[in-house]
Structure 1
Amino acid sequence: MATTLSDSPLSLLERVADPGVLRTLPADQLPLLAHEIRQFLVERVCATGGHLGPNLGVVELTLALHRVFDSPRDALVFDTGHQAYVHKMLTGRQEYFDRLRQTGGLSGYPSRSESVHDLVANSHASTALSYADGLAKARQLAGEQDRAVVAIVGDGALTGGMAFEALNNLGTAQDRPVIAVLNDNGRSYAPTVGALAGQLGALRRGGGTGVCRNFFTDLGFVYFGPVDGHDTGEVEGVLRRARAMNRPVVVHVVTVKGKGHRPSETDAVDCLHTVNAVVPASARGGTRSSTRSWTSVFGQALAELAAARPEVVAVSAAMLQPTGLGPMRERFPQRVFDVGIAEQHAVTSAAGLAMGGLHPVVAIYATFVNRAFDQVLLDVALHRLPVTFVLDRAGITGPDGPSHHGMWDLSLLAMVPGLRLAAPREAAQLPALLAEAVAWDEGPTVVRLPKATAGAPIEAVASMDGVDILHRGKGRPLDVLLVPVGPLAHAAVEAAGILEHEHGIGCTVADPRWVLPVNPALPSLAARHQVVVSIEDGVRTGGVGAALSQQCQDHGITTPVHRLGLPRAFIPHGPRSQLLAQAGLDAPGVVQAVRTATANRPAHRLSSLQRHGGAG
C-alpha cells in the first residue's frame, strides 16, 4: 500500500518519514519542506557539530533525487558522504540527529549499518563514480538495467584522479546507464582549483540546458546543465530526462554551499564547511578557550621556517586551512601549492619539487596518506628525495569515525626504506622536530600530529642518544620500560607514577621523538629492564612496537616487548579520550597492561640497569 500524508498536526518534515511519502507530496509544498529541513539542520548540527554548509547546499537536490529515484532499489551513491545529512533525514533517521557523530549515535557519513539506503560508508572523496561503474556492470550482468545508478559528486571531488579514471570507463559504456550528478558549488573545503574548475565556470557562465560540446560530451556523456540546484522542480525534471536517456549522463547542478544560513554562506572556513558544537556562553564562563591547537602551532612554525629557509615550499590536497597552511600562504603565496583533492598527485608533484632543489612540506590528514602510499614508497623514498610529510589528525580523531581515524600510517610507513618519522609528545616540541625534518636531505621525513589542543609540556629529566627520558624511578628496581609514541607520553608518565606509588613497580618512560626507524639506544635501554611496553595510537600490527620488538630480537635482546595500540578493526566515532581509553591507551589502561605483563616475571631481580647506574 502506498504511503500517504495524514492530517496530523506534525510539521511537514516530521510527516515525510520516508521517500515514499516524499513522492506523494504536492510540488507546491516542496519549498516549505526545504525551509523546514534547513531549520532542522541549523538547529541540530550546531548543537552536535558536523558538516553544515555542504548539507544546506543540497536540500532541493536531495529532495529531487528521492522524488525521481526509488532508493534503495535505485542506487544513490554520495561522494565523500558529508553531503548526505538530508538523505538521512528523508530515509527515516530524523529522530537520531540529536546524537549525530556521538558515541552510539548517527554517523556523520553514510553508514551501511544504519540503513539500506546507504551504500557506501567510506568518506574519502572521488570514489562514487567508480562505485557506480561497478554497480552498473553488476546490474547489466544480472539483467536489471531498469534499476538506476546515480553518483552525486561535488566539483571538488571531481578533481581526484579516481574520478577521471571512472569517467574514462563510464563514457565508453553507452549501453550501461549511469547518471553522474555534478553538484557544483565552486568549492571542496576551499575553492575548487585547476583547469577543470575553469571549464565548469565557463559552462556556468554559458547558462541554459541546451546541447553544447564540452569535456563531458567529448568523453561520451550526454550533458544536461547548468541546472539551478535550488529549484526542486527544475532539478526533478532534468533528472527524469536523464533517466529516460538510458545511457551515461552528466547532470550539472549549480548550488550554493551553506544556502539559507547567512553565517554558512559567508564564512570562508568554519561555518561554510563544518561547525563545532555550539557551547552556550554561560557554560564556558562567557569566554572562549585560548588553548591553541596542534594544527595552529604547526602552521605558525612552518611560516617561520619558510622565512628562514627559502627552499621550503608547501603542498596541500584541497585542505590548506584545515592542515594549517594559512599562515604560510599569507606570507609566501607563491610557495604554497593547492593541487585539489588529489593526494597521489600531490605526493609525486612534491617529488618533482624536491628533484628541482626545493624542500616540499606536504600537509595532509593521516587518513589520506593511505591513498598515496605507492607514491610515498616509489616516487619519493625510492629516489631518496627530501620531502617532509606533516600528518594532521594522526591516531584517533573522534567524531568522524572509521574512515577518518589516522590509525594506519605508522604500520604503512614503517615499511618504507629510508623514511624517518617523528611524533612530538607535545605541541611545544613540534617546531624543533619540524625544523629537524626539513633539515634532513637524505630522504623523506614525517611529522605526525593529533587532533587535539596543545596540552601541558612534559620536561625531559635526561637525554640518551636522542631519546628523552621523561620519568626515571628512584630507589626501586626498574622493572618496566615504557615507550610511548607522541602525545601518549602523558598517559605513560601518569601510569608510571601510579605503578611506582601504588604497586611498587619501578618504571622508566622513554620518548624516542623520532620513532621510526627505531633509535639504536632503545634496544640497549630495553636490555636493562625486565619488560618493555610500547604505547601507540596506531594499529598494533606492524607499528612502532612491532619495529622495536624486531630490533630487540635482531640484537639478541630477550626482554619481552608488549605492544599496546589500537586493534586491527574499524573503530566507530566517539570522543577521542573515550576511544583511547577503550583501547587501553590511557593511564589506567597502561597500568593494567603493565601489571599483567609483570605478573609472571621474577620479582624485582637485580637489573643490569642498576649495575650500570641508571637510565640516563
Structure 2
Amino acid sequence: MDITAGQLLRHIDDPSDLRKIDKEKLYQVCEELRQYIIDVVSVHGGHFAASLGVVELSVALHYVFNTPYDQLVWDVGHQAYGHKILTGRRDIFHTNRKYKGISGFPKRDESPYDTFGVGHSSTSISAALGMAIASKLKGEHERQHIAVIGDGSMTAGMAFEALNHAGVANANVLIILNDNCMSIDPNVGALKEYLTDITTSPTYNKLRDDVWNLLGKMPVGKRFTRDMASKLEASVKGVVTRSSNLFEALKLRYFGPIDGHNITKLVDTLQDLKDIPGPKLLHIVTTKGKGYALAEKDQTLWHAPGLFDKITGEIYKKPVNAPEPPKYQDVFGETIIELAAANDRVLGVTPAMPSGSSLKFMMEKMPDRAFDVGICEQHAVTLSAGLATQGMRVFCNIYSSFMQRAFDQAVHDVAIQQLPVILCLDRAGLVGEDGPTHHGAYDIAYLRGIPNLIISAPMNEEELRNLMYTAQLESNKLPFVIRYPRGQGVMPDWRRPFKAIPVGTGRKIREGKDIAILSIGHPGNFVTDAIKQLVIDGLQPAHYDMRFVKPLDEALLHEVFRQFEKVITVEDGTVAGGFGSAILEFMARHGYKADIKIMGIPDRIVEHGKPSELYRECGFDAKGIAHTVMEMMKNKITVVA
C-alpha cells in the first residue's frame, strides 16, 4: 500500500524546510503529520497514541529552535514519531521497528537530530542538563537545550534528581512537561494530583492568563524593560495556590499550563522562552491519541495497538483455528490471583506496568492487594522488601531491562537481608521490535553473582505456575527470581494443579547418547524442535531443562559430565556471564573436561526485529541449535537415504 504525505509535509525533508513555511500554515502541517502517522502505523504497526498527542509540540519545537544545533531530548521516545518524520526519515518511516529498519526510539547513530538514545523513562532532564552545562563551558551561550518529559516519566526519582540539580546549575535548559495524565497506563500518585490541581485552580489560571497575555503583547528577553521583567517574575513567583510551589521551589522558572494542541500559542510561547536564560519549565496539557477518536477514548489500548483499519478502528487479530497458548504475562496475572485467594499474605507490586505485566487482573479483583507505584523500579523493590519484613509474600513484577535500574536495591535491601521478595522479570530475553533498550539480555549475568538469591526460568506455562507457587511457600526463606519471556508460551492447556518444585532441581526431558543439550527457560522449546530434526539425521541428543541458574542442579550436572564429552548450553540471555558461564564454572570447579558450546545472546548490542528474526540472527533458534549440534558431531552423523 502506497502512503503519500500531504501537500506541505511531502516537501519537508528536514526542519529547515519546515521553518520556511508561514506560521499561519502550521495548522495544516500538523494535520498532515497526524494523518501520516495514522496512515503508516495502521498499516505497518508501532506505538501510536503517544506521538499523536505531541504533533503540535513536535512541529513547534523544530519550527522555533535551530535543531540539530539546538539540542532536543525526548523522554522514552514513544512520542518521537513526528520528530522522526520531520527530520529526514519520512520516506523510510514505514521501516520503523522492522528488522534492519529505523528504530522505534530516538537513536544517536541514526540521525544527528536524535541527540540522546532513549527507551527507558526519566532520562531526558539529566541528559539535556549535561548538554547545557557542556555548552556553557564551551562558551556556546546561545545554544538551546530542550527536554520533553511526560508527567508519567516525571514520577521517577531520576527526574527529581535532575530537577534538583537543574535549578542551581545556571545552565540554559528548557524542560517541557507534557501533561496528559498517562504513561502507558493511567498515572498514579501524588504528582498526578498535584498537576491536576495546577491545571484546575481558578486562582492560578487567572494569574497564568495575566502572565501569558503580557508575553503575547510585549517583546521579551533582552528587549524587556526592567519593569516588565520584574512584573513577569512577580506574576509567576507570586502564585498563591499550594500547587504552584514545587518547580519554583526548585529554582526553576515555571510557565503554564498552556494548551499543547494550540500550535500558534506553542510557537509564540517557545519564541518568548528562547530569550529567557537559565533553567525553566513549560507545562503543557495534551491529550494522548489526539486526533484519532478511539485512541483518545482508550489510550492504553491504543498505546501500541498493532495493525488496524484506520476507518473502522478494527484492530486486526490473526485467525485462530485451534486453542492458542496464552501469553506468559497473562499466566502470571491469572496465577497470582489464584495464589492470593489461597494465601492472604500474597501481594503484587509493579512500577507502572499493570497492563503489560497483567497485574491489572489482580488490581481489578483485589485492589487493596496490588499496587502500581509509578515509574519507580527502585522504590518498587524496596517497598516489596519492606512488605516482606512484615511477613508478606510479595510478587514484584518488573520488566527484565527495567530491573537493571534497581540493581542496588536487589543487593542492599533484598539479598543482604535475605528477604523473600519474589522478583518476576517479565520480557526476559529478546523482546523484538522495541530493540536493545528493552531486550532482557543481562538479568542472569547481573543477578547471578548476588548471594542469597534464587534464579529460575520456566520452560513453559505450567512451570511458571509451579515456580510462582514454590516461591510463595512458607518454606522459602530467600529472594526468588522468576524470569520469563514476552509473548506466547507453548501450552494451550496450561491451567493445571500446583506442584512445588524443589529449589535447584532440573529435569531430564530426553535420554540420549551423542551429546547433551542443557537449556534454561523458554528456549528449551527450541531445543525440543531442533531434536526432532536431529533424530531424523541419525543423532540421539539428550536434553536437560535445568530450571534454575542458581542454585544449579549439581547432581544432574555430574550425571551429564560423567556421560557426555560434548555439551551445548542454550539460553535467552547474554553468553557473557550467563547460564553457560555458570556451567563452565561448575566444570572447572569439579575438574571436568568436555567440548562445550555456549549458545545465547552474543556479546554485542542486538538491534530490533521480530523475535524469530533475532533468534535466527543470534543462532539459537531451532535451526541454529540443530546446525550447531551437527557441526559438533560431524563425524557421527548417519546419512539416511
TM-score, structure 2 length as denominator?
A: 0.87
**Residues 30 and 482 (structure 1 numbering): CA distance in 2 closer, same or farther, change over 3 Å?**
same
What is the alpha-carbon distance in structure 1 between the residues aligned to residue 406 and residue 322 of structure 2? 37
1:121 equivalent in alignment to 2:117: yes
2:519 paired with 1:484:
yes
Q: Structure 1, residues 499-525: CA drift from partner, whole Å, max 9, x if none?
A: 3331x4331101012232211123212
Q: Which moved more, 1:346-355 or 1:208-217?
A: 208-217
Q: Indicate the residue corresponding to 2:57 in structure 1.
A: 61
Q: For residue 466 of structure 1, what is the aligned residue in structure 2?
A: 505
The answer to whether the 8 Å contact 1:367/1:409 transfers is: yes
Change in Cα spacing, 1:349 to 1:594, as seen in structure 2 (3 Å) is same
Deviation string, structure 1 residues 333-392 (Cα, Å, up to 9, x no partner): 011111111111111111111112211111111110011111111110110001111111
Q: Report if aligned partners of 1:154, 1:183 keep a CA contact under 8 Å in 2.
A: yes
CA contact (8 A) 1:51 1:274 kept: yes
The farther-off stretch of 260-269 and 86-95 is 260-269
Contact kept in structure 2, 1:494 and 1:587, CA below 8 Å: yes
Q: Residue 34 in 1 paired to residue 64 in 2?
A: no
Q: Give the deviation of 1:10 after TM superposition.
A: 6.1
The reply to whether residue 274 of structure 1 matches residue 304 of structure 2 is yes
* Counterpart check, 1:82 vs 2:78: yes
Shift of the 417–520 alpha-carbon distance from structure 1 to 2, 3 Å rule, reads same
- Alpha carbons 1:428, 1:457 under 8 Å: kept: no
Task: Quickly say closer, same or farther: Cα 1:252–1:282, change in 2 above 3 A.
Answer: closer
Q: Give distance in 2, aligned partners of 1:158 and 1:342.
A: 10
Say whether residues 1:106 and 2:102 are aligned partners: yes
> Paired residue for 1:155?
151
Distance in 1 (CA, whole Å) between partners of 2:32 and 2:382 is 46
Letter in 2 for 1:544: F
- Partners of 2:248 and 2:624 lie apart in 1 by 58
Contact 2:456 2:550 in 1 (8 A): yes
- Residue from 196, 209, 231 that aligns with 1:201: 196
User: 2: CA distance between counterparts of 1:555 and 1:138?
Assistant: 53
Q: CA deviation at 1:224?
A: 0.4
Do the aligned partners of residues 326 and 281 (structure 1) sit closer, same or farther apart at CA in structure 2, a change above 3 Å counting?
closer
Residue 495 (structure 1) shift: 2.2
**1:297–1:26 CA distance, 2 compared to 1 (3 A):** same
Of 325-334 and 262-271, the range deviating more from structure 2: 262-271
Distance 1:362 1:70, change over 3 A: same
Please report how far the alpha carbon of residue 529 of structure 1 lies from its aligned counterpart in structure 2 after TM superposition: 1.1
Deviation (angstroms), 1:227: 0.8
> Any idea what SS the aligned residue of 1:314 has?
strand
Structure 1: segments with no counterpart, 5+ residues: 1-7, 605-616
What letter corresponds to residue 286 of structure 2 in structure 1?
Answer: T
1:313 maps to which of 339, 347, 357: 347
Q: Which amino acid is 1:584 matched to?
A: G
Partner of 1:18 in structure 2? Answer: 14
1:188 aligns with 2:188: no
1:587 matched to 2:622? The reply is yes
Structure 1 contact 414–517 (Cα < 8 Å) conserved: no
Task: Provide the residue aligned with 2:231 in structure 1.
Answer: none
Matched to 2:418, the amino acid is R
Aligned partner (choices 546, 550, 554) of residue 581 of structure 2: 546
Q: Give the deviation of 1:166 after TM superposition.
A: 0.6
Aligned partners of 2:323, 2:27: CA distance in 1, in Å?
40
* Alignment partner of 1:132 is 2:128: yes
> What letter corresponds to residue 112 of structure 2 in structure 1?
V
Instruction: Give the conservation status (yes or no) of the 8 Å contact 1:281–1:287.
Output: no
Q: How big is each residue's C-alpha offset from its partner over 1:534-562, in whole Å with a ceiling of 9 and x where there is no partner?
A: 10011101101111111122122223432
The yes-or-no answer on 1:296 pairing with 2:342 is no
- Give CA-to-partner distance per residue, 1:404-431, whole Å, 9 cap, x none: 1111111111111121122111123321
Question: Which of 254, 265, 271 pairs up with 2:296?
Answer: 265
Structure 1 residue 458: deviation in Å? 11
> Structure 1 residues 376, 154: closer, same or farther in 2, change over 3 A?
same
Query: Any idea what the Cα deviations from partners look like across 1:61-88, whole Å, max 9, x if unmatched?
Result: 1111111111110000001111110000
Does the aligned pair in 1 maintain the 2:14–2:86 contact within 8 Å? yes
Q: 1:292: how far off?
A: 2.2
Aligned position for 1:250? 281
- Where does 1:327-476 land on structure 2 (aligned, <5 Å)? 327-439=361-473, 441-456=476-491, 466-473=505-512
Q: Give yes or no for contact 2:580–2:598 (8 Å, CA) kept in 1.
A: yes
Is contact 2:565-2:593 (8 Å) kept? no
Provide, for residues 9-55 of structure 1, a one-character-per-residue CA deviation record: whole Å limited to 9, x for no partner.
96111122221121121222122221111211111112222111100
Q: Residue 92 of structure 2: SS of its match in structure 1?
A: helix
Q: Distance in 2 between matches of 1:246 and 1:446?
A: 48
Quote how far apart the aligned CAs of 1:261 are. 0.5
Cα distance in structure 1, aligned partners of 2:559 and 2:274: 68
Aligned residues of 2:325 and 2:493 also touching (Cα < 8 A) = no
Q: Tell me the SS of whatever aligns to 1:434.
A: helix
Aligned to 2:225: none
Deviation string, structure 1 residues 263-294 (Cα, Å, up to 9, x no partner) = 111115211x2121238999945989854211
Question: What is the DSSP-based 3-state SS (H/G/I as helix, E as strand, rest coil) of the residue aligned with 1:35?
Answer: helix
CA distance in 1, matches of 2:284, 2:160: 19
Aligned pairs (5 A) from 1:525-604? 525-527=559-561, 528-598=563-633
Q: Which amino acid aligns with 1:583?
A: C
Contact in 1 for aligned 2:5/2:32 (Cα 8 Å) = no
The yes-or-no answer on 1:72 pairing with 2:74 is: no
Within the candidate set 257, 265, 271, 1:226 is matched to 257
Matched letter for residue 193 of structure 2: G
Per the alignment, residue 514 of structure 1 pairs with: 548
Report if aligned partners of 1:109, 1:121 keep a CA contact under 8 Å in 2. yes
Cα distance 1:277–1:428, how it changes in 2: closer, same or farther (>3 A)?
Answer: farther
For residues 421-479 of structure 1, what are the alpha-carbon distances to aligned partners after superposition, in whole Å with 9 as ceiling and x for unaligned? 221111233211111122253221111121121224899xxx99832222223xxxx12
The residue matched to 1:67 in structure 2 has which SS? helix
Q: What is the aligned counterpart of 1:326 among 347, 350, 360?
A: 360
Q: Cα gap change, 1:285/1:589 in structure 2, threshold over 3 Å: closer, same or farther?
A: closer
Tell me if structure 2 keeps the 8 A contact 1:152–1:182.
Answer: yes
Aligned residue identity for 2:421: V
Tell me which amino acid in the other structure corresponds to 1:25.
I
- Measured in 1, the distance between the counterparts of 2:55 and 2:493 equals 48
| Structure 2: distance between partners of 1:373 and 1:428 | 28
Please say which of residues 398-407 and 184-193 is displaced more in the overlay.
184-193
Distance 1:469 1:286, change over 3 A: closer
1:61 and 1:533, CA in 2 relative to 1: closer, same or farther beyond 3 A?
same
- Greater mean deviation of Cα atoms: 143-152 or 511-520: 511-520
What percentage of residue pairs aligned between the two structures are identical? 38
Other structure's SS at 1:369 match = helix
How many residue pairs were aligned? 585
Partner of 1:92: 88
**Counterparts of 2:80 and 2:550 in 1: how far apart (Å)?**
39
Which whole-Å CA distance do the structure 2 matches of 1:324 and 1:177 have between them?
Answer: 42
SS of aligned partner of 1:487: coil
